[in-house]
Amino acid sequence: MLLKFLCLSILILNLILYSISAQDLNTEKIQIDSISISGNYKTLTSVIKRELSFSKGDFVDSSILNYNRERIFSLGLFNRVVLTVVNKKQKNILKIIVKESWYIFALPVIETIGKSFSKAQYGLFILHKNFSGRNDKFFLKTAIGYDPYFLLAYSNPYIGKDGSYYYSISAKHQKKNNQSLLAKKLAEKEFVYKINSINFSFGKRISNYSMIISGIGFTNLSADFYKPLITISTKGKDNFLNVGLSYVYDSRDLIQSAETGFYFNIQYLKLGLIGSLNSNVIDMDVRNYLPLYKSIYIKNRLYVKTVFGKQIPYYQHAILGIGDFVRGHQNDIREGLAFILSSNEINIPIIKEWDLKFKLPLLPENLTEVRIGINVFCFFDTGSTFNNYKEIRKKNFYNGYGLGLQLLILPHNAWHFEYSFNEFGKGEITIGTGFSF
């Protein structure tokens, strides 16, 4: 209760401070007469330019320049991005200076399913970013252990004369332990699915912030026995073609750790165009980022998933507790045909931005330079699974709250350390990598 009160107090205090200080913001604007970009030895200039929210002849101020600096940094291609305006012969020239990062990585993989190291997998991740200078990515990822897999993928977000088209292709082989409690009860044992899949997606960027993506894929899934809804096929093997369509709107500043902007993603997936499988999945992910006072900001997320159709196998059920979970309830598995998950955070930067450089023998300079950020935050999560919308009641939701620390190592990765409580006061520690919402 004390921690809830502390989080609420911080929110109210910062809302007051924000309203007091809003009138002091510098709104002086200057007109940009020309734009020059340097330092991009491999990256196409047009890849950088299309991230800008303004063009030659527009008026900008310091906040607009900082927002666009972070948008360029969000590409994940540069160790440093500098935007500065120089007046030359009564012309305002915007100079964008970037320092490209190292693009080829071979990194170890250590993953856990939930918080148990008894369900861990270990492997190798090989990544080649900016393969052709278009911010395309080729990667291979493989692991052995609890859920062994092999994944090969390529994506290119800059196709066509104006770079407005996108495509990706991936192939994956995996052995995945069943996650459904209902399937486990029916089978009366733990069991493993063997899954082979290939997917292709194609998209069109329709504005600076929005994109439409379509996709098609094929999946071969099998278990070593048959029981109803563990697979649809009585042979224990499901082969199905799937198609999907999604819309994405993303106006965030720094995607890896946004402080302002809005993100919306809605996706429809049809599984089983042919064959006995016939089900549908709708995902909706909404995120909002609001600066409060100086560098302090609040972020909110609402994630909804629903599955519907004539026959829905257990492996397509919506599950909270593994992958997606309410903090304070990791490994507390809840299962249904849909779930709602809401997350809310107040973030306070301890170190907003520190350009760290160090020298190591045999390593190139652009591999030994990173941007460091350290944030502390308090959070409150709530979520619920259900089979129909009549089951959405306050008593069916479960909650978690706590404090955390995030270490950003940009543009590459992040570490987060969290201590959370459930509604009964039971605490748990979470340590992980990757960027939060």
pTM of the model: 0.90
- For residue 292, CA distances in Å to 70, 284, 352 come to 18, 26, 15
Domains annotated on the chain, with CATH? 25-100 (3.10.20.310), 317-437 (no CATH)
The answer to whether 178 touches 192, Cβ cutoff 8 Å, is yes
In tens digits, the chain (437 residues) has pLDDT values of 444 444 444 444 444 444 444 444 446 899 999 999 999 999 999 999 999 999 999 999 999 999 999 999 999 999 999 999 999 888 999 999 999 999 999 989 888 876 667 788 999 999 999 999 999 999 999 999 999 999 999 999 999 988 999 999 999 999 999 999 999 999 999 999 999 999 999 999 999 999 999 999 999 999 999 999 999 999 999 999 999 999 999 999 999 999 999 999 999 999 988 777 889 999 999 999 999 888 899 999 999 999 999 889 999 999 999 889 999 998 889 999 999 999 999 999 999 999 998 888 888 888 889 999 999 999 999 999 999 877 788 888 999 999 999 999 998 889 999 999 999 999 999 888 887 78
The answer to whether 44 touches 58, Cβ cutoff 8 Å, is no
d(CA 357, CA 365): 8
Hey, which residues does 383 pair with through a beta bridge? 341, 398
Q: Is the peptide bond before 411 cis (omega within 30 degrees of 0)?
A: yes
State phi, psi for 257 to the nearest 5 degrees.
-155, 75
d(CA 94, CA 168): 34
State phi, psi for 434 to the nearest 5 degrees.
100, 165
DSSP character string of 10-24 = HHHHHHHHHHHHGGG
